[in-house]
Amino acid sequence: MANKGHITGMRGVYLVAAELTRLGFIACPTSRSALAADILVTDQSCQRTYTVQVKTNARTFGFWLVGAKARSPRSRTHMYVLVNLRSVDGQDRPEFFVVPSGVVAAKMVSTVSRTATKSNWHQFYMRDALRYRDKWSLFGDSASTPA
């Protein structure tokens, strides 16, 4: 049986795929085995492709846990879409932040917990994401024509 965190993560992936599709892109969730890619995205003429890593929060909205590997994929075509699952007046209102992977790599903060386990936490903070709220334009035009 899937745990609550897995369900939250998958909900974020499908919300992002649905939003990209609404915007006219072709969006395909991966099988969860692709390193650093939850969704593969292309424009309608298959001229531009992107990989998308989705991070979703159901409760804590000040940061997203991104993992140590967020430091390495710094491609112009690799994006993070950070999702907050908010409920406003009983209505689901997800927030989306479309952030280039280079920004996540540069701004993420790593800390070690003070507990006996000394767990490593890799976070990307809301303050660094705010300028990327609904910045779907980073994917360009969904209906681009072949050159």
Q: What is the pLDDT of residue 74?
A: 75
Element containing residue 41 per DSSP (H, E): strand 39-42
Backbone torsions φ then ψ of 114, nearest 5 degrees: -90, 5
| Residues 96-140 pLDDT 10s | 999 999 999 999 998 887 776 778 889 999 999 999 999 999 999
Longest dimension (CA), the chain: 58
| Residues 42-52 pLDDT 10s | 999 999 999 99
The reply to whether the predicted model has a pTM over 0.85 is yes
**Using the 8-state DSSP alphabet, how is residue 63 labeled?**
E
| Residues 53-65 pLDDT 10s | 999 999 878 999 9
Percent of residues, the chain, with pLDDT higher than 90: 64
Q: Check if the beta carbon of residue 34 is closer than 8 Å to that of residue 52.
A: no
**CATH of span 4-61+74-102+127-136:** 3.40.1350.10
Q: What is the pLDDT of residue 103?
A: 96
Domains in the chain: boundaries: 4-61+74-102+127-136
The β-bridge relationship of strands 120-125 and 26-29 is unpaired
Mean pLDDT of the chain: 89
Task: Using pLDDT thresholds of 50, 70 and 90, give the confidence band for residue 71.
Answer: confident
Task: Using pLDDT thresholds of 50, 70 and 90, give the confidence band for residue 1.
Answer: low
CA 61 to chain centre: 14
